[in-house]
Structure 1
């Protein structure tokens, strides 16, 4: 279960006054960490309190004092109104003549299959039991068609991170895509020698600091190219229209947790027509981020609708799907694909600004999503929707990037189109421990030691992203030789990540 919640996720509920943000965060994370409330339960509790602060203020509960403050605001004519997203967390009203609620839910509930559909696991020795249990549940869904588990897999929310799930062609699962829709990698290779970072370390550090922003408060005033905001899809639905201004402000920024922008050395092992770069070492810029607050709000909004529309047993609740033949399903599909375009534009904005600052243009860019859903056709001709939550597309001759950690290498790969893997590969090394465990067991001195040993300069970052919290990337790559060919290796040298305070406030699933 996730151990933190972000302020951004809370603010989707309504126009909460800024002076109460800290109180909401403290209560929310206390409920999650101490009372072991699921995030959904916390958001539901807050939504019900915002809708009726008087009720909560006049009864003894976990939010009594906060409810009293909100009730006082209401009496002063400053009631906090629930947003459209906030209203989706409210329980459905049941008429007095309705049958027993439990019986009603049971009657309309989809049941899981007694045995899961067989699926291939790659690198099973690297995967925790919790992730496999989650995958078993996913493969028991009545809409599941095929699946695969990548060697970097670890337990997530709903579908495990590193899980690949194909469902029937008319069903899409928001939480099988993930909260950070279209989280992706982007690599720019420059026609500069690999040791350029030794010659101009000051310039490269300055380029990162001045052209990157991380976290919920990360916004940019100056845009290099804002044409992404001209797409007609920004007017497609109310939720997209409501989020457009935020998306514009956050264009060219990155998230928290394992998101980064970093300089490093790319070693191209051999000349390859697909990659199109001569063998050798080059200076390169690598970034990892997604669709920011826009994607997160879309994910939360439509996952709530999915759960209302598709009743599933408790263990599968977060795998609720939307029917693509419904208005909600079509709306999500439009928003998801727009988030994909927006995430790509985010990376391009960062890369172009940094490239301009060093006076160079990349000779090659490689990029790919790893939190997305695609309409695809299986080897037997079956039309499906393939969800890759923390998995890299690896169809035949697909180029992709599989990163390691802030000190360990990443790899540029070419997909082999392995049918049993649903044309997929891992999206990274995968975590060995949760963020909470990492923060309590990794020390600053240990992190500084490994950074010094690997000659990596870190700007920002936190202990929950230390190299020792990740699996051995070399072993993970070795577990998927059936899936990809390695064309080049990226070794990080100057790494920019969110500051520790920002990361701990917001939290992340992966």
Structure 2
């Protein structure tokens, strides 16, 4: 009699005590328990019957021991600032390499920290097994560079035309000034669960033909080999990529809590063979297509605005992305793929910009094993933007710019001079080039010597602008 009374009181708390996880299945389980009670079955009978529906708890995946997976260092320090930078890069990579999915890693000559310890640094490469780590490509997905050979045209004509059509700064283009976005691509976005949101679709239309802010640029120079003028753009996937990153990190966090709670949040992953992993990989490829179209739109608009006719080759490469090679997923954070056919549109050559007063390198990758098949993406930094401003002392941005960019046509499109983007804010370009050669990371085929560039400038953060607007 006592057991029958107890059976009648089977509740959700009993199910939880028996190891069931609360969810939509609970009402059905309780209904089964009630029916079994009505048939005179005992609590133990009910528990045993429902046990088949109890989710099996898998063991949590622990972190790897420190040093179990080493990483390659393709970087050397030649100054006290560089020594401090390399030490910080080494510290964060050592923590990162404990992530259970990681099988190898490398750092490039332009490496610098990009967040809390354990966060992949700029200039970092990580290979993972059956895992896509959104935090390892970061919010600026598919940040990339594209070059178009424009022939024997005066570079000033190109820079004037480019400035008239490009868009820097926060936000997108207003109605009446927007570039056309492929309807076929937008339909593909809507068919993908990671991309099908009104906000992302709207941004995909508004942000086409925009370059953002920070270190993104539009560069005009001349080929040292041919003397022909070239335009080079640098930017990523703008708002659509930022939204995808946010959603991807949310999904990865759910997996982290279930399968590896010891893993740092920034290193959470989506299992590549899961439904979510397949959809996320497809979303990355679609964002890549959007980003390439964005570069193309700006280049073509410049050609039309400048009435340019002698157009040569155009090629591009990304340096914030995930690349699949064999059964591994290679995450490059500010690192350029340096092997042939890394993508169907790869030409074998890639671009490495240094700073606004130095050439953009046209290189051919060497697929060096000690670099996991990557090369640098630029010059990198040895200290933060704020530290650079502090070191300027009493020198004004105008004075600093005049001293560092003499003879160049440097323009800030959306704001005042951003001193943190001047050459002195970056590592020594000569040192980075020397290390590319010394470590055998790429073969330099040409130099695009600078005429000038357009950058966003010192634009206040959007949240500060919005706060002032409210006042």
- Of 415, 418, 422, the residue aligned with 1:466 is 422
Q: Provide, for residues 152-192 of structure 1, a one-character-per-residue CA deviation record: whole Å limited to 9, x for no partner.
A: 00001421111111100x21100111111000000111111
1:230 is matched with 185
Asked if structure 1 preserves the Cα contact closer than 8 Å seen for 2:410 and 2:453, the reply is yes
**Structure 1 residues 314 and 456: CA distance shift in structure 2, 3 A:** farther
Matches within 5 A, 1:361-380: 361=309, 362-377=311-326
Asked if structure 1 preserves the Cα contact closer than 8 Å seen for 2:339 and 2:365, the reply is yes
Structure 2 unpaired stretches of 5+: 1-14, 20-58, 341-346, 466-471
**Structure 1 residues 222 and 501: CA distance shift in structure 2, 3 A:** closer
Q: Provide, for residues 137-162 of structure 1, a one-character-per-residue CA deviation record: whole Å limited to 9, x for no partner.
A: 22222111111110000001421111
Aligned length: 385
Asked if structure 1 preserves the Cα contact closer than 8 Å seen for 2:170 and 2:462, the reply is no
**Structure 1 residues 483 and 389: CA distance shift in structure 2, 3 A:** same
In 1, Cα distance between the equivalents of 2:463 and 2:313? 36
Matched, 1:392 2:392: no
Q: Provide, for residues 298-337 of structure 1, a one-character-per-residue CA deviation record: whole Å limited to 9, x for no partner.
A: 1122112212321457783211111112232222212211
- Of 69, 75, 80, the residue aligned with 1:117 is 69
In 1, Cα distance between the equivalents of 2:464 and 2:193? 26
Matched, 1:180 2:140: yes
Asked if structure 1 preserves the Cα contact closer than 8 Å seen for 2:179 and 2:205, the reply is no
Alpha-carbon RMSD: 2.8
In 1, Cα distance between the equivalents of 2:286 and 2:356? 29
Asked if structure 2 preserves the Cα contact closer than 8 Å seen for 1:228 and 1:341, the reply is no
Which secondary structure does the structure 2 equivalent of 1:471 belong to? Answer: coil
**Structure 1 residues 506 and 188: CA distance shift in structure 2, 3 A:** farther
Asked if structure 2 preserves the Cα contact closer than 8 Å seen for 1:172 and 1:385, the reply is yes
Q: Provide, for residues 65-102 of structure 1, a one-character-per-residue CA deviation record: whole Å limited to 9, x for no partner.
A: xxxxxxxxxxxxxxxxxxxxxxxxxxxxxx99799xxx
2:152 is matched with 192
Offset of residue 454 of structure 1 = 4.4
Matched, 1:433 2:383: yes
Asked if structure 2 preserves the Cα contact closer than 8 Å seen for 1:182 and 1:370, the reply is yes
Matched, 1:153 2:97: no
Matched, 1:417 2:367: yes
Matches within 5 A, 1:101-500: 108=60, 110-125=62-77, 126=82, 127-157=85-115, 158-168=119-129, 170-192=130-152, 196-197=154-155, 201=156, 203-219=157-173, 221-222=176-177, 226-227=181-182, 229-230=184-185, 232-242=187-197, 243-268=200-225, 280-311=226-257, 316-361=264-309, 362-377=311-326, 383-396=327-340, 398-442=348-392, 443-460=396-413, 461-481=417-437, 482-500=440-458
Asked if structure 1 preserves the Cα contact closer than 8 Å seen for 2:357 and 2:405, the reply is no
Q: Provide, for residues 27-64 of structure 1, a one-character-per-residue CA deviation record: whole Å limited to 9, x for no partner.
A: xxxxxxxxxxxxxxxxxxxxxxxxxxxxxxxxxxxxxx
With normalisation by structure 1, the TM-score equals: 0.70
Asked if structure 2 preserves the Cα contact closer than 8 Å seen for 1:407 and 1:456, the reply is no
In 1, Cα distance between the equivalents of 2:441 and 2:65? 29
**Structure 1 residues 313 and 135: CA distance shift in structure 2, 3 A:** farther
Which secondary structure does the structure 2 equivalent of 1:339 belong to? Answer: helix
1:4 is matched with none
Structure 1 unpaired stretches of 5+: 1-94, 100-106, 269-279, 378-382
In 2, Cα distance between the equivalents of 1:191 and 1:498? 26
Rg (Cα) greater in structure: 2
In 1, Cα distance between the equivalents of 2:464 and 2:444? 34
